[in-house]
Amino acid sequence: MGSRSAALFVFLSIAISRTLIRRAATVAIDDIELVRRLDTELVDDYQLARNYCLDVPTFALVHLRSVAHKLVDRLAEAVEITFKSKNLYDRIEVLNRAKVIDVRLARQIHKLRSEGNKGAHPEKYRLSQQQLVELARKAVEIAAKMVAESYPVITQQGAPQWQFEPVDQIAGRELCYRAVMENDHQAQYLVGTSLKAKGLMQRERELSFAMANDNRDFNLDASGELLKQASYWFERAYEHHDEAKFEHGVALIHGYGDTIDQARGEAFVQQAAEAGVAGAQALLGYFYLSGGHSIEQNLALAEHYLLLAAEQDQAEAMANLGVLYHQGQNGDVDEQKARHFTEQAANTGYPVAQYHLALMLMQQGQLSQAVQWLEQAAKQRYPDAMATLARMLIDGDGVEKQPQRAADYYREAIRLGGQAQTMFELALAIFNEEVPQPDLVEGATLLQAAYHYAGDGSDLHSAIEQLSPQVVNAIEGRCQQQPQELPLLQLVLAKFDSQKLPKPFRSALE
């Protein structure tokens, strides 16, 4: 090699080395390293959520809520703010009002808090497994971005260059291996949690199908098998794992395994509650509020355990505290506390609480605010909220009349909740021609179903017995006036017996 070629080679080597050094200096770290650099106390929850968001999304969402809690505390420490409330919603709002975080970041933290509550109560939000997985996957990415945006406030330095690494399912496969081969109690709990979530969603689909077919195909085998497997893994882990002990107790109470043992199940729930498990504290508080199998009603103990769970941002506990204070202890009603805790639960995104808060506001004449909360609960497919909104939209009660939207809400509420009162109301709206393009056959079928599901001797049962002859008489009169509609009207009349009462619902489907 000549001297000029050698010199050129050396020059190029130096240039390449310098380029590589510069690139190495600016290479992006991954999201786990970003979280670790900000706070090592955050990384365990974040990594657990990331690892299991595709296989156990409920578990991942709960841990991301924990990330939100800890991040809010770190932000407050950085600017020397002391919180008065233990509630996460209140703490986020304190930081927002103090301009420690901007509105956009506040919304991100609120979203993570809300998604965490969905993980804690997936059955209350009527989400499919696929929806939960997608929710958890997106929430992990939101959490990483949230950490990056909080970095300058907490460290007084700009966030390092970072990139989000796509999640994979390797951790899920390792989880099953550890549960089976290594007798890992945490892994056994997580496998049980995943199976339970899938089982409850499958059970809801089975029950909806059974109701639509008048119980003729009442088959719970698929959900039963999933719940039985979940019960098995909880039983494997419960002696060494407090959350598994709680779930094992729930499984015994509901009979997810081979046997039902309510007294023993309640005892395990109580033990888990004493160990600080928020879900167990909330359930034990509910048992003391309403009475359990072996637990007598005790409102003082109900308040005690519900408050413990509420301090951990447990939405169902907050909602039940609202019920407790609304009903009163020994006749001592506290509407201010009832409103406070119901509103806190509603702010977590819990649809049951959003509905209860709407009812409170309606009683106080605050219809516009009530409608806003009803809308939020209805968006989460809560049947009672949908039915109430439908009623208001039909009557124009505090809102503009929107008959088509009302009919849509009624039908969705019936599909999801199957409540006889809702069926009756839509049937009435159809026969009164309060909805667009009223289908008289649909109305008669709904009246049959409502009569079938209403309890004998109930007010609704009596109301249908009074209304049905009027409907039949009106249809018979229409047959004479509009003979061209006779085939359709005869289908309607076929839904009623000789006494002009709805026939048994089964006969209409056969």
Task: Please give the pLDDT value at position 455.
Answer: 84
Residues in a beta bridge with 163: 30
Among the listed residues 35, 292, 262, the one whose alpha carbon sits nearest the alpha carbon of residue 143: 35
Measured between alpha carbons, how far is 416 from 409 in angstroms, rounded to an integer? 11
Q: According to the 3-state scheme, what is the secondary structure of 432-478? A: CCCCCCCCHHHHHHHHHHHHHHCCCCCHHHHHHHHHHHHHHHHHHHH
Residues in a beta bridge with 332: 329
Measured between alpha carbons, how far is 500 from 465 in angstroms, rounded to an integer? 9
Coil, strand, or helix at residue 275?
coil
Handedness of CA 266, 271, 274, 278 (dihedral sign): negative
Measured between alpha carbons, how far is 321 from 326 in angstroms, rounded to an integer? 8
Measured between alpha carbons, how far is 198 from 399 in angstroms, rounded to an integer? 39
400: in domain? no
Coil, strand, or helix at residue 274?
helix
Among the listed residues 265, 268, 267, 266, the one whose alpha carbon sits nearest the alpha carbon of residue 256: 265
102: in domain? yes
What residue numbers bound the domain in which 49 lies? Answer: 29-161
Whether 367 and 398 have beta carbons less than 8 Å apart is answered as: yes
Residues in a beta bridge with 502: 496
pTM value is 0.82
pLDDT digit string, tens, across residues 184-242: 999 999 999 989 988 988 888 777 776 666 555 567 889 999 999 999 999 999 999 99
Measured between alpha carbons, how far is 348 from 124 in angstroms, rounded to an integer? 13
Torsion of CA 414, 418, 422, 428, to 10 degrees: 80
Q: Please report how the helices 383-395 and 420-431 are oriented relative to each other, as an axis angle in degrees rounded to 10.
A: 20
Q: Which ranges of 162-277 would DSSP assign to H, the alpha helix?
A: 170-181, 185-212, 221-237, 242-254, 262-274
Task: Please give the pLDDT value at position 171.
Answer: 64
176: in domain? no
58: in domain? yes
Measured between alpha carbons, how far is 383 from 126 in angstroms, rounded to an integer? 10
47: in domain? yes
487: in domain? no
11: in domain? no
Task: Please give the pLDDT value at position 372.
Answer: 96
Q: How many helices (H) and strands (E) does the chain have?
A: 26, 2
DSSP letter, residue 399: S
Measured between alpha carbons, how far is 399 from 349 in angstroms, rounded to an integer? 23
Task: Please give the pLDDT value at position 116.
Answer: 87
Whether 32 and 43 have beta carbons less than 8 Å apart is answered as: yes
Q: How many domains does the chain have?
A: 1
Q: Residues 458-482, buried b or exposed e (16+ Cβ, 10 A)? A: eebbebbeebbeebbeebeebbeee
Amino acid at 476: E
Task: Please give the pLDDT value at position 119.
Answer: 82
Q: Which secondary-structure segment (H or E) carries 163? A: strand 162-163
138's CB contacts (< 8 A; 6+ apart) are: none
pLDDT digit string (tens) for the chain, length 510 residues: 555 555 545 544 555 555 544 544 456 899 999 999 999 999 999 998 998 888 889 899 999 999 999 999 999 999 999 999 888 989 999 999 999 999 999 999 999 998 888 887 777 787 888 888 999 999 999 999 999 999 999 999 999 999 999 887 666 677 787 888 889 999 999 999 989 988 988 888 777 776 666 555 567 889 999 999 999 999 999 999 999 999 999 999 999 988 899 999 999 999 999 999 999 999 999 999 999 899 999 999 999 999 999 999 899 999 999 999 999 877 788 999 999 999 999 998 999 999 999 999 999 999 999 999 999 999 999 999 999 999 999 999 889 999 999 999 999 999 888 899 999 999 999 999 999 999 999 999 999 999 999 988 899 999 999 999 999 999 999 998 988 989 999 999 999 999 999 998 763 333
Put residue 300 in one of left, alpha, beta given phi > 0 → left and psi -120 to 50 → alpha. Answer: alpha
DSSP letter, residue 238: G
Measured between alpha carbons, how far is 224 from 277 in angstroms, rounded to an integer? 26
Whether 267 and 252 have beta carbons less than 8 Å apart is answered as: no
Q: What is the CATH number of the domain that holds 37?
A: 1.20.120
323: in domain? no
